[in-house]
């Protein structure tokens, strides 16, 4: 009995952050927009297609981007809006798709293998895309193919706000005329090497043997050869959003010292942020819980932009604490919870020197892993709110 034909759809929200900014401020439509950090030290997170025409791209320094496109409008992102829209799209897909993977806040894979017995996979994916656009007003593109790799490249070719179906058996013909750096992973290091070998297009890879490519590129060489044939065996991993990561402390004696309580809150937030990064997750919601001696328990939560960084989580936790805390009341228990967890932490916002921050957190986490969670802690002076 033959295996069912595999169909994988890849869906990607176009210039996601920019699209959300335009929804919140329609006057930005059609303008050059850059979403990122400060003019001096920030990094471009994403930009509109109008800005891309001037050479602006993700990961570029804001200073360079503004040199290329000085008339661009800068947007720094509304707290929680990106998370909100990402969840909205996820819910629509989850309600329809038999099996899907959330690859990032704006990117999804859907496995439709075997479903062609019951419906046309291409028509089904078009209808799902239409529902997302009509419901959220966000532009979204998709590629449909026999594997994840070809589907993702098909999406890139379909952008902006389009779709493309690579029919079974046409993978190699579709890939051959595309630049070789369209293959994910072919970047600043490997692309010049391939060009020196005379490999400019994906199809050029097939002019060489896997053994020759391995000699020049290591194990990456034969993998590139396979990809040039349109062969890829990556699976769609079913999306199961982790419920939460939390910690709480029931004190031996009730605490009234505000400085102590805030210091403990910061310590606990650092602890669960460390656990979050170890699990390679980002959080889209944070909550603080306070229990008083009479066992009255109050909690409050807020939606935030997806993050894994202490310096973005701690101020929100402190703000929630102040909104909850009954002045001068002793506290029996204090807790912090991160929820709405999502994969791919490195795709968190690249605002305000975010790449350097991420590398710093990696270094700190390596120390904590080797010497204990509390081997490195922030020096802190906690400010009390004004009376």
In angstroms, the CA 117 to CA 121 distance is 9
The 8-class DSSP code of residue 325 comes to -
Catalytic residue among 50, 107, 312, 340: 107
Closest CA to 287 of 267, 308, 265: 265
Cβ(357)–Cβ(261) under 8 Å?
A: no
Residue 107 is among the residues annotated as catalytic for this protein: yes
In angstroms, the CA 186 to CA 46 distance is 20
Task: Report residue 365 as tokens.
Answer: 């986490």
Backbone angles phi and psi of 188, in degrees to 5? -60, -30
* Helix ranges, the chain (H): 16-24, 49-52, 62-68, 81-96, 121-136, 148-158, 171-175, 190-196, 210-217, 220-228, 258-278, 310-324, 354-371
Cβ(8)–Cβ(148) under 8 Å?
A: yes
Q: Three-state DSSP class for 100?
A: strand
Cα angle 310-313-319, degrees, rounded to a multiple of 5: 135
Residues annotated as part of the active site? 107
């Amino acid at each position: 009995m033959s295996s069912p034909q595999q169909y994988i759809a890849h869906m990607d929200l176009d210039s996601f952050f920019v699209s959300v900014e335009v929804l919140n401020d329609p006057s930005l439509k059609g303008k050059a927009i850059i979403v990122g950090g400060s003019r001096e030290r920030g990094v471009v997170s994403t930009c509109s297609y109008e800005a891309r025409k001037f050479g602006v791209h993700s990961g570029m320094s804001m200073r360079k981007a503004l040199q290329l496109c000085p008339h661009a409008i800068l947007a720094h992102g509304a707290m929680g809006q990106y998370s909100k829209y990402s969840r909205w799209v996820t819910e629509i897909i989850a309600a329809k798709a038999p099996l899907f993977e959330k690859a990032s806040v704006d990117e999804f894979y859907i496995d439709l293998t075997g479903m062609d017995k019951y419906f046309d996979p291409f028509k089904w994916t078009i209808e799902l895309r239409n529902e997302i656009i009509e419901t959220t007003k966000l532009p979204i593109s998709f590629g449909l193919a026999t594997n994840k790799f070809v589907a993702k490249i098909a999406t890139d070719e379909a952008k902006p706000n389009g779709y493309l179906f690579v029919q079974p058996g046409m993978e190699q013909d579709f890939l051959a005329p595309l630049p070789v750096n369209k293959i994910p992973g072919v970047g600043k290091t490997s692309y010049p090497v391939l060009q020196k070998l005379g490999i400019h297009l994906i199809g050029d890879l097939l002019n060489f043997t896997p053994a020759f490519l391995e000699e020049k590129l290591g194990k990456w060489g034969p993998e590139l050869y396979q990809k040039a044939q349109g062969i890829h065996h990556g699976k769609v991993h079913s999306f199961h959003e982790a419920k939460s990561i939390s910690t709480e402390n029931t004190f031996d004696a009730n605490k009234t010292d505000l400085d102590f309580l805030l210091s403990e809150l910061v310590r606990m937030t650092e602890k669960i942020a460390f656990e979050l990064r170890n699990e390679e997750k980002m959080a889209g919601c944070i909550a603080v819980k306070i229990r008083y001696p009479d066992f009255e328990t109050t909690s409050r939560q807020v939606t935030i932009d997806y993050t894994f960084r202490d310096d973005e989580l701690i101020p929100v936790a402190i703000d929630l604490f102040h909104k909850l805390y009954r002045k001068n009341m002793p506290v029996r228990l204090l807790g912090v919870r991160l929820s709405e967890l999502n994969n791919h932490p490195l795709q968190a916002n690249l605002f305000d020197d975010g790449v350097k921050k991420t590398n710093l957190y990696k270094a700190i986490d390596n120390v904590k892993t080797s010497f204990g969670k509390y081997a490195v802690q922030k020096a802190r002076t906690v400010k009390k709110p004004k009376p």
